[in-house]
Structure 1
């Protein structure tokens, strides 16, 4: 019996040892699993960090790519509005060669601005529908074709149709869609992006008068316009190859979004900018003629004044745009528009050549700020990016009434009485 007890005790001890070994094995497995879980958690944490870093790098790369694309896209604005900003060159030349009153000559530039803004409702909606490239292609063809046709024009009605109507329609197909497209690419620095795009008009406002200044006395009007057409062709080809719409097309929706006018901010903005643009282009149209016929400057010197006014516009476009991204586009636009009104009144007191250069520089900066900030202020009033083209185009169509009425009226009621005449 004692032997049986010893056997049972031995068996129990063996089982206890076996259980202890099993427990140790389980503990080891648990520790191993815990280590694996800890390692897995560490890997997951590192993976999340890498994904976040990759996301930031991707966003930065996309931002840089967008910036590069916008620098290319600004060539469209250069051709579209740069020709208009430099119309003072042609205003002065046509006054000499066509022997027409200033109001007749200004109608050529006025119809350009009219069409630039008027067809914005149509081109803006087509841009939202995904037809940006076809619209831009048609606009490019019309701009180049109009410039070439102008080179063969010798009568007023021919120049009106080619440079006024044809180039104006092309500008309208380029300007509003380009502004609408740029506004969809940027949220944080939208004003600066649009400001850089608007610098294209400044570049054109310097480039085209320089071409006319150098080539017109040597080659004549026809070949000068053909050279301008060649510059437009090259620049627009580069721009068209780089244009990439960002958002998917919005195939449904009305041509005019009438509900937008129920928003008081949108409606008041349209009315306010209508009045602001009533006289914004007056100086660009008549500053060269004023310098030549009233201050007695030569034709080439009068073009220098226009080039200064357009060139300093780079400062007026970049600085207000940077400020607009910080404090808001509307906050910057309102005092800038007020300063634009004041600077136009001060023109009455400018009767010396030296003072005129200073006035041209200051007015170029202020008017450049208005031209750069007003699109970003308008874009900030639209919450849905897919409707940017439509809503921007609607306001552009409203503004055109102020433009076309102002420039022709200014020629008769301001230039002629004030300056006696702008023709030799």
Structure 2
């Protein structure tokens, strides 16, 4: 059995067909699940004490391990141990017949159903009819229903009575990405577990271990890019790592990973933000043009700008926000300087304009032109006074005070619009 939190060793048999990383390194025990410590602890305690619910519902975004967790629960409940004398356990052995058959999705008493393709009441009736019969080989008969929210209303109603009074030998495990679409009457009869998005740094560490196991040289910034793009999804991150390895031929570098993901250089995005807040339209358009020629999508550039403005705003409110392990020292320093020089009104105005502009770019027939117009608006908005300045002006503060505030911000950022 693998050590906790260590990926499985890759197969050495060259005759076996290639398996994608997401399948090859799928966790087989609770210890191998990453980023779900609270849920794992609860399930381990329930199995250890025998306080098991008859139905579980696992919810979370794509790729965080819902179906994987369901299979591990099934293995833990039906594991017989290496000597064939074991009982329900939090550490399935992985070598007994039930463990191996469940891992290969071929156990006769552990049935998996995709509710996205089998939504009708007739499909559920097959389950209801089979519930009354005891398991043929295993300790428990387990039904795993993926994307359960796709079931029809009649199918849910048919399942309701069985969930309310299930036989002792039956366990239901539901998985869904849309928990709000599951009827409350179903949820009230299940023990619910919310699988969290995996933290970026945890994902980076996981990718680094897998790259090492695969014998692949991977730069830390490249793995950080992949982890950010995956947005907390382990499966998405492994798919992107697979793509990066195939694209680079075995050496995953920052530059090539950026090309694969269509991302803009973070340092250049920070330069772009600085130009926008200075009101330098010519420099802003030149930076955007360079990023576009390098392969960055204009909508992605605006999305990165939104992320940068949010980061600068957090730096202004809570300076500790800059202590992110995935942000370089130079970026922290530049970000702190920019956040200190900018007024909160300018940051929030830039956020609103970028948010609106991003929708325009996505809908525009010429995304680059639309992005340029958004940047030009932002540059000229840099000279506009804040609402507080307008109030002071209306109360007799005078135009000089308003202009002085705007000029002060531009001076701190290193210049102004010519």
With the shorter chain as reference, the TM-score category is: under 0.3
Question: Comparing both structures, which one devotes a greater share of its residues to helix?
Answer: 1
Q: Structure 1 length as normaliser, TM-score? A: 0.22
Question: Comparing both structures, which one devotes a greater share of its residues to strand?
Answer: 2
